[in-house]
Amino acid sequence: MKTMQNGTTAIPTGSPGRPTTTTPGSHPDGNQPGPQPIERPVVVFDGTCGFCRKQVARIQRWDHADQFAFVSSHEPNLLEHYPQLAGEDLDAGMRLIEPGGAMFAGADAVHAIARRLPRFKWLAPLYRVPGMKQLARLIYGWIARRRHQLGQTCSPDGACRIDR
């Protein structure tokens, strides 16, 4: 990951063989202002959160087919590019926007991502087991509320800082 001059972090969004980067003011499907047609699912995440960036990096490693684009929820033109996010509490969790316009939030987004990744596809049906969706949403909410503490980095002398 690369720190930009304005202090934000550019998140690599492509596969290792085809890296692309979404930086503030850019768009994963082009640099045109305004709503863009979505060619692949877009994961909108808290780009200021160390824990969240680590999870995005994991998804990118597992996404060998380069199925997803990734955009920080702090991108300046986010609502211009993705008007369906207007009114959404993006601090409550990630969003997955489908090319057809469907949007998933939090644990539901994790499920929608998992069912596309060969490594986790076998787990996806468990989400339909009675009670599992509710449990997953509770766990996701707990993690989302504590994501900045979970993203702590500590030095060898034991001093910790929270990534924000």
| 81 CB neighbour count, 10 Å cutoff | 24
Q: How confident is the model at residue 20 (pLDDT cuts 50, 70, 90)?
A: very low
- Reported pTM: 0.70
Question: Structural domain boundaries of the chain?
Answer: 2-23+33-150
Using only the alpha carbons of the chain, give its radius of gyration: 16
Thinking of the domain 2-23+33-150, which architecture would CATH place it in?
Answer: 3-Layer(aba) Sandwich (3.40)
Place of tokens 């972090």: 9
Q: How confident is the model at residue 122 (pLDDT cuts 50, 70, 90)?
A: confident
Give, in order, the Cα–Cα distances in Å from 111 to each of 53, 94, 119, 145, 154: 18, 12, 13, 19, 31
pLDDT at residue 9 in the model: 35
State the Cα–Cα distance between residues 134 and 6, nearest whole angstrom. 39
Span 145-161, mean pLDDT? Answer: 66
State the Cα–Cα distance between residues 74 and 59, nearest whole angstrom. 19
Place of tokens 């996806």: 124
Query: Is 6 a residue whose pLDDT tops 50?
Result: no
Strand order in the sheet with 69-72: 69-72, 42-45, 95-97, 103-105
pLDDT at residue 53 in the model: 92
Distance of CA 73 to the CA centre of its chain: 8
Pick the more confident residue, 38 or 11.
38
